[in-house]
A and B are shown apart, each in its own frame.
Chain A
Amino acid sequence: GQNIDQPTEMTATEGAIVQINCTYQTSGFNGLFWYQQHAGEAPTFLSYNVLDGLEEKGRFSSFLSRSKGYSYLLLKELQMKDSASYLCAAQDSNYQLIWGAGTKLIIKP
């Protein structure tokens, strides 16, 4: 079956670095997405990886290893506004997204 696993909740300190991991199993693979969702709001796109390696975008970076079925989202210089849920989603051979349940990130001062 198809499955996405990510931690339910993580806590980090303002100004620090946090890594949110995601493992996936899909029928075929056409890319890995990360979305950010603040409480009560719609998800917004953060990153897309289809090739192995690290993609950097400002304070946020996303890494993919296709052979290991593994991705992580790295957030640097954490700010209070980064408190949100982070959703990992893998795209299968039919280009449909398989979603993880999300990781709630709590930032403490």
Chain B
Amino acid sequence: EAQVTQNPRYLITVTGKKLTVTCSQNMNHEYMSWYRQDPGLGLRQIYYSMNVEVTDKGDVPEGYKVSRKEKRNFPLILESPSPNQTSLYFCASSAWGVRPNTGELFFGEGSRLTVL
């Protein structure tokens, strides 16, 4: 089954304690992206990756890191989480290496993070 898998789905942590949210896709997609979603603000892109070893900042990259060492995995790292990073996080992938692009985004189920 084609899917994007994120872990953990729910996490409560404390300020400053490093954490990693994993994301894996089994569709051989070139493009992967991380979003955060907050009430009234919609989806905001954190980082994206067009292919292995290629990552770029989105709209709200501060406080986050990513890596793309393998095509299927795109972990999101919070080196020193703060309460303003409490949010719902989505990983997504797409076959956007192909032009012209009609590729839809496939989303993971989301990771709800609370930083105390």
Contacts and interface: CB of A to CB of B under 8 A. Distances in A.
Interface of A: 8, 30-31, 33, 35, 40-45, 48, 50, 87, 89, 91, 95-97, 99-102
Interface residues of B, number: 19
Interface in B79-116: 90, 96, 100-102, 104-110
B41 A101 contact: yes
Given A95-B96, A96-B45, A102-B42, A42 B101 contact: no
A30 B99 CA distance: 11
Given A43-B105, A44-B107, 13 more contacts: A30-B100, A30-B101, A33-B105, A40-B110, A42-B90, A42-B107, A43-B43, A50-B102, A87-B43, A96-B48, A97-B45, A99-B42, A99-B44
Nearest to B50: A95
Interface of B: 40-45, 48, 90, 96, 100-102, 104-110
A100 B42 contact: yes
A91 B110 contact: no
Contacts of A89: 43
A51 B110 CA distance: 32
A48 B104 contact: yes
A30 B41 CA distance: 23
A92 to B, nearest CB: 11
B88 to A, nearest CB: 8
A44 B106 CA distance: 7
B33 to A, nearest CB: 8
Query: Nearest 4 CB-CB pairs, A to B?
Result: A42-B107, A101-B42, A45-B104, A99-B43
A48 B102 contact: yes
